[in-house]
DNA sequence: CGCTACGTTGAGAACAATCAACCCCGGTGG
DNA sequence: CCACCGGGGTTGATTGTTCTCAACGTAGCG
């Protein structure tokens, strides 16, 4: 099983290393929401933010729990997902440094969230965040842009899930991942895929076996090369793009 | 083919019947964005809104066109969709009276939109709408709620597309449709499904044939009854809900 | 060194797609 | 009035992609 820890961390006591002004030194500031903030606002936000650390596989959020907090990912990766009663799982998104978690939710969280590998996050209480939102005009605009971007991504994913073949799904995933890495300042071509086959399957609406087989086929055809340390080289990105049937 | 008219209406001259203050008499006001507006704001909005009428099958928006307008549906239904190069189609959503069209899009429309049956809409120019948005605080909040709701719906649809069987998809569709009808003040149980089998298939990631067969099976099992005029009776909504594997 | 989680591969089954035919109904025109 | 037409809907036969079940390989770690 992927989720092995049932304790929710969303209201656990955070491991505070008492930083005086963590936000100024924040490594993901330019990626995250806080880009929109002035120096003073940043100082103010520092007073309400709390750092949280998760171990691999740890649960941050249970679907349906009261949405008391919002988070920004500092380092590491998470999966957010929805479950059907019989255990079928749909991974809605993977979150990486700079990504935001918890905006869409109103009274309860609409999905679960678990760490992949070790994760560091910033945690805001919902009410404090709403307060900041009401006062900092730039924050609001930026947040709207984030949600809009998420909605666009979700709609693209609907096309992938509803109308693409297994092969097209995998190739689309690789391309998207590569582009996202480039945009986030990470290495674009031998991409590092920190998520397991099971997660990829649950993200693309496939079984692990189909994911594995498809990777093998692509490797055999020479369009990708599987490298150590979860890395994948895209040998002809242009050709791959065509194979993915982009919208 | 479903889309038979290639002329875009998004910048056609609207059929203006010169209403003095259309927004006050608006039938979908309580459903739509304009709920958030005061009497004065409503009057002001009246001056920038233009009515548009579409005939069955007519194209309102081409995917990729410059996003010059935003719309609110007055009556009728539309489908919004994305296409792959080879013609595979994913219907992203159906729009009904009170629904909003064009928020998520930035410079260009991210999807196509076509009328199902005859449709009446309100049309705003993008710039005028942005102006209203900047000035009317309530509008902004309401818009954010709309986008948040759309994102939640999109994420639910991802579960449906990625992890549900054909049968579960159809049943989920019927339940969702019934609930939505109830919320919009239309009749909840013999539901009226104004969209064709092909559209349902493209919405659920299925072929027409599978949609048709599944309807037939459900009918034979007695859980639904197919009535004239595109109506469907849900004979045991509770049982259907269980069959749909809700989240 | 063996445990465990993850990944790969194989054989067979199953669900949905494809290809094809037919029905039904409303509209149109002889 | 009836024949024809076309779009949507249904049904059947068959194919095929993906899933399921099962076994085995591999790498990291106590």
In a domain, A47, yes or no: yes
> Does A82 touch chain B if contact means CB atoms closer than 8 Å?
yes
Q: What is the bridge-based pairing of β-strands A59-61 and B190-192? A: unpaired
CATH code, domain with A107: 2.60.120.10
How many Å separate Cα B115 from the centre of its chain?
A: 10
Chain B residues close to A162, C-beta within 8 Å: 90, 161, 202, 204-205
Do residue A147 and residue A110 come from a single domain? yes
Do residue B154 and residue B168 come from a single domain? no
- What confidence category does residue A87 fall into, taking pLDDT thresholds of 50, 70 and 90? very high
Return d(Cα A117, Cα B209) in angstroms, integer. Answer: 44
Q: Domain end: A109, A142, A158, which one?
A: A158
Q: Encoding tokens for residue A113?
A: 């969230």
**A55/B37: higher pLDDT:** A55
How many Å separate Cα B78 from the centre of its chain?
A: 5
Is the pLDDT at B120 greater than 90, yes or no? yes
Answer for the pair B101, B120: CB distance below 8 angstroms, yes or no.
no
Count of CB atoms situated within 10 Å of the CB of B99: 22
In a domain, A65, yes or no: yes
Query: What is residue A133's predicted lDDT score, i.e. its pLDDT?
Result: 85
Strand C lies under 7 A from the Cβ of residue A221: no
Q: Domain end: B118, B134, B158, which one?
A: B158
Query: Tokens 């109830």 sit at which residue?
Result: B182
Instruction: Please tell me the pTM assigned to this model.
Output: 0.91
Do residue A103 and residue A210 come from a single domain? no
Do residue A115 and residue A202 come from a single domain? no
Q: Encoding tokens for residue A156?
A: 């693209």
- What confidence category does residue B170 fall into, taking pLDDT thresholds of 50, 70 and 90? very high
Residue-wise pLDDT for B12-31, tens only, equals 444 444 445 667 777 777 77
Query: What is residue A20's predicted lDDT score, i.e. its pLDDT?
Result: 54
Is the pLDDT at A82 greater than 90, yes or no? yes
CB-based contacts of B167: which residues, under 8 Å, 6+ apart?
A: B214, B217, B218, B243
Do residue A126 and residue A168 come from a single domain? no
Query: What is residue B105's predicted lDDT score, i.e. its pLDDT?
Result: 74
- Give distance CA A207 / C1' D9 (Å): 33
Write down how long chain B is: 247
Query: What is residue A11's predicted lDDT score, i.e. its pLDDT?
Result: 44
Return d(Cα A221, Cα A234) in angstroms, integer. Answer: 12
Return d(Cα A247, Cα A156) in angstroms, integer. Answer: 8
Do residue A69 and residue A177 come from a single domain? no
Q: How many domains does chain A have?
A: 2
Is the pLDDT at B201 greater than 60, yes or no? yes
Do residue A176 and residue A194 come from a single domain? yes
Do residue B139 and residue B203 come from a single domain? no
Count of CB atoms situated within 10 Å of the CB of A27: 12
Helical H segments across chain B, by residue range: 39-46, 126-135, 137-163, 166-183, 197-204, 208-221, 237-243
For residue B168, give the chain A residue with the closest CA. A84
Closest of B117, B93, B103 to residue A144, by C-alpha: B103
What's the Cα-to-Cα distance from B188 to each of B107, B164, B179, rounded to whole Å?
Answer: 38, 24, 7
Do residue B132 and residue B57 come from a single domain? yes
**B207/B143: higher pLDDT:** B207
In a domain, B18, yes or no: no
Q: What 3-state class would DSSP assign to A236?
A: coil
Is the pLDDT at A90 greater than 50, yes or no? yes
Q: What percent of chain A has pLDDT over 70?
A: 91
Least confident of A37-51, A99-113, A143-157: A37-51
In a domain, B74, yes or no: yes
Answer for the pair A188, A181: CB distance below 8 angstroms, yes or no.
yes
Domain that holds residue A239: 164-243
Do residue A141 and residue A235 come from a single domain? no
Is the pLDDT at A3 greater than 50, yes or no? no
Is the pLDDT at A7 greater than 50, yes or no? no
Is the pLDDT at A1 greater than 60, yes or no? no
Q: What percent of chain A has pLDDT over 90?
A: 67
- What confidence category does residue A84 fall into, taking pLDDT thresholds of 50, 70 and 90? very high
CATH code, domain with B185: 1.10.10.10
Arithmetic mean of pLDDT, B89-102: 94
Residue-wise pLDDT for A185-223, tens only, equals 889 999 999 999 999 999 999 999 999 999 999 999 999
Residue-wise pLDDT for A122-159, tens only, equals 999 999 988 888 888 788 888 888 999 999 999 999 99
- Kindly report the average pLDDT of chain B as a whole number: 88
In a domain, A146, yes or no: yes
Chain B residues close to A245, C-beta within 8 Å: 84-86
Arithmetic mean of pLDDT, A7-18: 44
- What confidence category does residue B1 fall into, taking pLDDT thresholds of 50, 70 and 90? very low
Nucleotides of D under 7 A from a protein CB: 8-13, 17-22
Strand C lies under 7 A from the Cβ of residue B210: yes
Q: Domain end: B108, B127, B158, which one?
A: B158
Residue-wise pLDDT for A159-181, tens only, equals 999 999 999 999 999 999 999 99
Query: What is residue A2's predicted lDDT score, i.e. its pLDDT?
Result: 31
In a domain, B64, yes or no: yes
Interface of A with B in 146-185 (CB under 8 A): 147-148, 150-152, 154-159, 161-164
Strand C lies under 7 A from the Cβ of residue B197: no
- Kindly report the average pLDDT of chain A as a whole number: 88
The radius of gyration of chain A from alpha carbons, rounded to an integer in Å, stands at 19
- What confidence category does residue B200 fall into, taking pLDDT thresholds of 50, 70 and 90? very high
Return d(Cα B113, Cα B58) in angstroms, integer. Answer: 9
Do residue A138 and residue A102 come from a single domain? yes
Query: What is residue A21's predicted lDDT score, i.e. its pLDDT?
Result: 65
> Does A247 touch chain B if contact means CB atoms closer than 8 Å?
yes
Is the pLDDT at B73 greater than 50, yes or no? yes
Cβ-nearest to B154 among A111, A140, A155: A155
Counted across chains A and B, CB pairs separated by less than 8 A come out at 101
The radius of gyration of chain B from alpha carbons, rounded to an integer in Å, stands at 19
* Cβ-defined contact of B84 to A152 (cutoff 8 Å): no
In a domain, A17, yes or no: no
In a domain, A86, yes or no: yes
Do residue A172 and residue A215 come from a single domain? yes
């Amino acid at each position: 099983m992927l989720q092995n820890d049932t304790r929710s961390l969303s209201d656990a006591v955070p491991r505070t290393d008492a930083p005086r002004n963590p936000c100024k030194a924040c490594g993901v500031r330019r990626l995250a929401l806080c880009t929109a903030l002035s120096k003073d606002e940043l100082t103010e936000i520092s007073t309400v933010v709390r750092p949280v650390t998760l171990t691999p596989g740890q649960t941050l959020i249970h679907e349906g729990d009261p949405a008391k907090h919002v988070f920004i990912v500092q380092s590491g990766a998470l999966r957010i997902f929805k479950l059907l009663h019989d255990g079928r799982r749909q991974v809605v998104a993977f979150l990486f440094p700079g990504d935001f978690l918890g905006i869409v939710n109103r009274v309860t969280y609409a999905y679960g969230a678990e760490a992949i590998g070790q994760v560091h996050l910033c945690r805001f209480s919902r009410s404090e965040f709403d307060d900041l939102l009401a006062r900092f005009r730039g924050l609001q605009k930026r947040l709207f842009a984030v949600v809009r971007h998420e909605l666009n991504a979700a709609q693209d994913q609907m096309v992938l899930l509803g109308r693409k073949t297994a092969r097209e799904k995998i190739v689309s995933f690789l391309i998207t991942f590569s582009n996202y890495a480039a945009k986030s300042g990470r290495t674009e071509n031998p991409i590092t895929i920190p998520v397991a086959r099971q997660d990829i399957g649950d993200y693309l609406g496939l079984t692990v076996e189909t994911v594995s087989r498809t990777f093998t086929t692509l490797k055999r055809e020479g369009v990708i090369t599987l490298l150590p340390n979860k890395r994948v080289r895209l040998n002809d990105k242009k050709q791959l793009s065509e194979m993915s049937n982009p919208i």
